[in-house]
């Protein structure tokens, strides 16, 4: 049995089943649309913020990693194992960085480093990004052939063997030659011709910025130029200033981008300009960066929307510095 409302003449349950009016429906739609717009704006802003943070993290990672690599690599400059007194000239103009002749290499051990500033013409064996500095170093590996962490000896590389036998050292302190040759006859402290000293791979290497803006290196081997290796992408600039010990006491007397005598260099200041791979909405005003005491980099207007940051450090050449201190 249905109960009838006396005023409307309709069953009582029918009054509770009425739908929305048109006005109510329109109000609900507008409120819902405003909520969607607000949520979309929050999502877009959040995504943009996350993207900016990701770009900043990318630049920081590239810059710091680049400095870490250079610190680890360049600190070994001039390390020749137990060789106490490297031989060779002291005039940077006489160092043939592109030579593949081991006799030339042996005659230039004293010149453990040679810099190429941004105004110099590239040697025939190097192609770098215009306006950037490069550095050429000489050293040996920190491990000896035969040790677990060292690569096997090969005739495609050059090796340095240093005598540990006193009388022999005075006459023939070292041998520098291609691997697997019979010229490596130097002895240990026992001065026993049957017991030979270890050999270390000899490294002649350029560190530079490639034309594709990557921190890279390339080796000069007895067979010519090795395949270039990209270490860190999106490094736009690199500049150097060299620490000079002119009086030979192992302490820094001055800094110069073009030292008169490269054999006096015991360290280097490094500046890297790292950049993001994608455009940033917050980078439009970043147009000028200071690298080194005398180098300012102006960014072209077309690429100012990339996020950039400068990183700098000082790297000591441990072995050349220690030789001067002793």
DSSP 246-290: SSSSSS--EEESS-S-GGGEEEEEEEEEEEEEEE-TT-TT--EEE
Task: Assign 46 a pLDDT band (cuts: 50, 70, 90).
Answer: low
Residue 255 maps to a domain: yes
State residue 229's pLDDT score: 98
Cβ atoms within 10 Å of 325's Cβ, excluding its own: 12
Strand partners, 161: 175, 199
Statement: residue 93 has pLDDT above 90: no
User: What total number of domains does the chain contain?
Assistant: 1
Task: Assign 187 a pLDDT band (cuts: 50, 70, 90).
Answer: very high
281: containing domain? 71-325
State residue 2's pLDDT score: 47
Mean pLDDT check: name the lowest of 12-26, 67-81, 86-100, 151-165: 12-26
Residue 204 maps to a domain: yes
Average pLDDT, the chain: 88
Residue 54 maps to a domain: no
Residue 248 maps to a domain: yes
Task: Assign 216 a pLDDT band (cuts: 50, 70, 90).
Answer: very high
Statement: residue 92 has pLDDT above 50: no
Token representation of residue 141: 């590996």
Task: Assign 143 a pLDDT band (cuts: 50, 70, 90).
Answer: very high
State residue 52's pLDDT score: 72
Cβ(210)–Cβ(228) under 8 Å?
yes
Task: Assign 284 a pLDDT band (cuts: 50, 70, 90).
Answer: low
The whole-angstrom distance between residue 73's C-alpha and the CA centroid of its chain comes to 9
Residue 174 maps to a domain: yes
Cβ(241)–Cβ(294) under 8 Å?
no
Cβ(138)–Cβ(112) under 8 Å?
yes
Residue 213, classed as helix, strand or coil, is coil
Mean local confidence (pLDDT), 279-296:
79
Please state, in angstroms and rounded to a whole number, the distance separating the CA atoms of residues 55 and 109.
Answer: 43
Please state, in angstroms and rounded to a whole number, the distance separating the CA atoms of residues 306 and 286.
Answer: 9
Residue 180 maps to a domain: yes
Task: Assign 8 a pLDDT band (cuts: 50, 70, 90).
Answer: low
Please state, in angstroms and rounded to a whole number, the distance separating the CA atoms of residues 270 and 64.
Answer: 12
Task: Assign 40 a pLDDT band (cuts: 50, 70, 90).
Answer: confident
Q: Which one is predicted more confidently, 311 or 88?
A: 311
State residue 47's pLDDT score: 62
State residue 6's pLDDT score: 54
Residue 234 maps to a domain: yes
Please state, in angstroms and rounded to a whole number, the distance separating the CA atoms of residues 10 and 16.
Answer: 11
Please state, in angstroms and rounded to a whole number, the distance separating the CA atoms of residues 318 and 74.
Answer: 9
State residue 279's pLDDT score: 82
Residue 50 maps to a domain: no
């Amino acid at each position: 049995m249905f109960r009838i409302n006396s005023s409307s003449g309709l069953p009582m349950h029918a009054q509770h089943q009425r739908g929305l009016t048109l006005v109510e429906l329109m109000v609900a739609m507008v409120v819902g649309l405003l909520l969607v717009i607000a949520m979309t704006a929050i999502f877009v802003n959040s995504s943009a913020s996350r993207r900016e943070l990701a770009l900043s993290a990318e630049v920081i990672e590239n810059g710091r990693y680049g400095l870490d690599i250079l610190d680890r690599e360049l600190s070994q400059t001039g390390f020749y194992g137990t060789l106490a007194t490297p031989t060779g000239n002291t005039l940077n103009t006489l160092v043939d960085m592109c030579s593949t002749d081991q006799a030339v290499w042996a005659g230039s051990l004293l010149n453990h480093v040679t810099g190429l500033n941004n105004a110099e013409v590239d040697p025939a064996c190097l192609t770098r990004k215009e306006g950037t500095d490069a550095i050429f170093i000489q050293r040996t590996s920190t491990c000896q052939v035969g040790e677990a962490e060292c690569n096997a000896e090969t005739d495609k590389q050059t090796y340095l063997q240093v005598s540990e036998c006193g009388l022999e050292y005075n006459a023939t302190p070292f041998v520098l030659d291609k691997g697997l040759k019979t010229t490596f006859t130097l002895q240990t402290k026992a001065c026993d011709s049957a017991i030979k000293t270890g050999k270390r791979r000899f490294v002649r290497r350029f560190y530079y910025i490639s034309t594709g803006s990557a921190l890279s290196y390339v080796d000069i081997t007895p067979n010519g130029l090795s395949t270039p290796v990209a270490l860190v992408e999106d490094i736009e600039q690199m500049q150097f200033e060299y620490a000079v010990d002119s009086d030979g006491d192992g302490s820094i007397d001055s800094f110069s981008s073009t030292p008169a005598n490269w054999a006096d260099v015991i360290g280097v200041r490094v500046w890297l300009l790292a950049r993001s791979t994608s455009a940033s909405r917050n980078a439009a005003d970043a147009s000028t960066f200071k690298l080194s005491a005398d180098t300012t980099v102006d960014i072209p207007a077309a690429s100012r929307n990339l996020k950039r940051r400068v990183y700098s450090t000082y790297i000591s050449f441990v072995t050349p510095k220690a030789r001067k201190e002793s």
